[in-house]
Amino acid sequence: MSKTKHIGVIGSGSFGTALSHVLAQNGHEIHLFTRDEQVKVDINTNHRNTLFLENYEIDSKVTATTCLETACASPIILLAVPSHAMRAVTEEVVPYINDDTTLIHVTKGLEQRTNLRMSEVIKDVCRKHEVSPAIAVLSGPSHAEEVIQHIPTVVAVGSESPETRKKVQRLFMNKWFRVYENKDMIGMELGGTLKNIIALAAGIMDGLAYGDNTKAALVTRGLAEITRLGVALGAHKETFMGLTGIGDLMVTANSRHSRNWRTGYRIGKGEKLSSITGDSHMVAEGVKATQVAFQYAKQHQLAMPITEQVYLVLFEEKNPQLAVQELMTRKEKEEWSVTL
């Protein structure tokens, strides 16, 4: 555990709130930025975020604010926003930071228009504003509902800077929240993003009432598929065998805490994507990730049959049972070939 620091957290959703609690429990003073006046009042008065984490108490050292400048008046800023909002939020944050700032993001997604990873989006915005903060990603199997209950959780931090990795590791580490270092930011960000596609597929399988055999095959072949794409995009294969690969995939594909699993489950039960996304205030990042990965697979001429079928189910309303049948009747092949 490091010395007490003032830390700004941008994003008062479930994960931003849970990580604010972790940091506050470690003795740090947290300013949690929200655009919702009621969330601010709820956190500051009741020490709860009823909108996103209704049943859990938040450490009193977390102070919510609707003033972005107040949250950003810290040497360390945690960005916990959806992927589609990262560029706009970074544009708002960047006037308040400098080269000594450390920006940590926890977003598992790709920018839909550019296909950039979140650290690339942050760098792009900072470059235009001629500022060079240290950038890190914190990722791994970590449902907010479990983190805030102090259920033992293990994640990883990635950064190009060894000093930044160590700094972030020490900020978060305690007896119930463990952090490993990983040099492979590309693999960490892609693993955290691409596993959401397989989690959607897992939810669809459960919605169709398929069994454990199907789930095991899906997760295993899904891991091979996202590893294939990750390596093509510059990641290390080993990262997909770690916390931000198979670890994150296992927890996301098997838990009702997962937004991606829940979205897939409802589709498996016969709902349309448009009706699901229209009635939820929480984002299933896998929906956007599926579009991006589908484009990447075509661009790099990679076989990604599960991703392709998920894409067709989501965006062309293909019958999920037909999608499974087509996956099962693909041409026979070796399990461990050069192309996975």
Residue tagged 């805490």 (tokens): 257
Q: Which domains does the chain have, with CATH numbers?
A: 6-183 (3.40.50.720), 186-328 (1.10.1040.10)
Distance between CA atoms of 287 and 99, rounded to whole angstroms? 34
Distance between CA atoms of 287 and 185, rounded to whole angstroms? 22
pLDDT digits (tens, 9 = 90+) for 19-65: 999 999 999 999 999 999 999 999 999 999 999 998 899 999 999 99
Is residue 282 pLDDT above 70, yes or no? no
Is residue 321 pLDDT above 70, yes or no? yes
3-state secondary structure 151-199: CCEEEEEEECCHHHHHHHHHHHCCCCEEEEEECCHHHHHHHHHHHHHHH
248 is in an annotated binding site: yes
DSSP-assigned letter for residue 330: S
pLDDT digits (tens, 9 = 90+) for 74-108: 999 999 999 999 999 999 999 999 999 999 999 99
> What pLDDT is stored for residue 283 in this prediction?
64
44 is in an annotated binding site: no
- Dihedral sign from CA coordinates of 315, 317, 320, 322: negative
Confidence of residue 256 (pLDDT cuts 50, 70, 90): confident
> What pLDDT is stored for residue 166 in this prediction?
98
Of the chain, the percentage scoring pLDDT greater than 90 comes to 85
CA separation (Å) from 269 to 216, 275, 286, 336? 20, 13, 18, 33
Confidence of residue 184 (pLDDT cuts 50, 70, 90): very high
Distance between CA atoms of 101 and 132, rounded to whole angstroms? 8
Q: Which residues are catalytic?
A: 195
283 is in an annotated binding site: yes
